[in-house]
Amino acid sequence: VADAPRGWVVVGDAGFRPEDLQQGGVGDCWFMSALAVVAERHELMAKIVPNYLCEPSTTASGCHEIRLFLDGRWTSLLIDDYLPTTTKQRRPTSDGSGLAFGRCAGRQLWVSL
């Protein structure tokens, strides 16, 4: 998150909360509803976002580990924090971010990642 405004974190102090999810501009409600259910299970979210308790300096490079359950096993993916945006949104985002897909209320990245 080197180029992002200060104050952005992977997960806020309150942890993973379904009420923090916001739909993106491309109509991803199907994914947001599934993620809201998973967000209520802290032990499962800790497997998906394994390094969320790391100090901000460890994620300053913009590289984040996300784990997905694919073909019967956990698979780690390293992703950057260059998030897709759109200027032609079907519905405007309330925060003006222009993020194409889901995002969090506040300055959290876990949904977008």
Residue 56 β-bridge partners: none
- CA–CA dist 103, 99 (Å, integer): 7
* String of DSSP letters for 42-84: HHHHHHHSTTTTS-GGGGTTSEEEEEEEETTEEEEEEEES---
pTM (predicted TM-score): 0.70
Query: Over the stretch 8-49, which tens digit does the pLDDT of each residue have?
Result: 778 888 888 999 998 877 778 888 899 999 999 988 888 898
Task: Say what the pLDDT of residue 72 is.
Answer: 95
The answer for residues whose C-beta is within 8 angstroms of residue 6's C-beta and 6 or more apart is none
As a whole-number percent, the residues of the chain with pLDDT over 90 amount to: 18
Residues with catalytic function: 29
> Domain spans of the chain?
18-104
Of 15-19, 58-62, 108-112, which gets the smallest average pLDDT? 58-62
Task: Say what the pLDDT of residue 3 is.
Answer: 47
Query: Over the stretch 68-105, which tens digit does the pLDDT of each residue have?
Result: 989 999 999 988 878 887 766 555 555 556 777 888 88
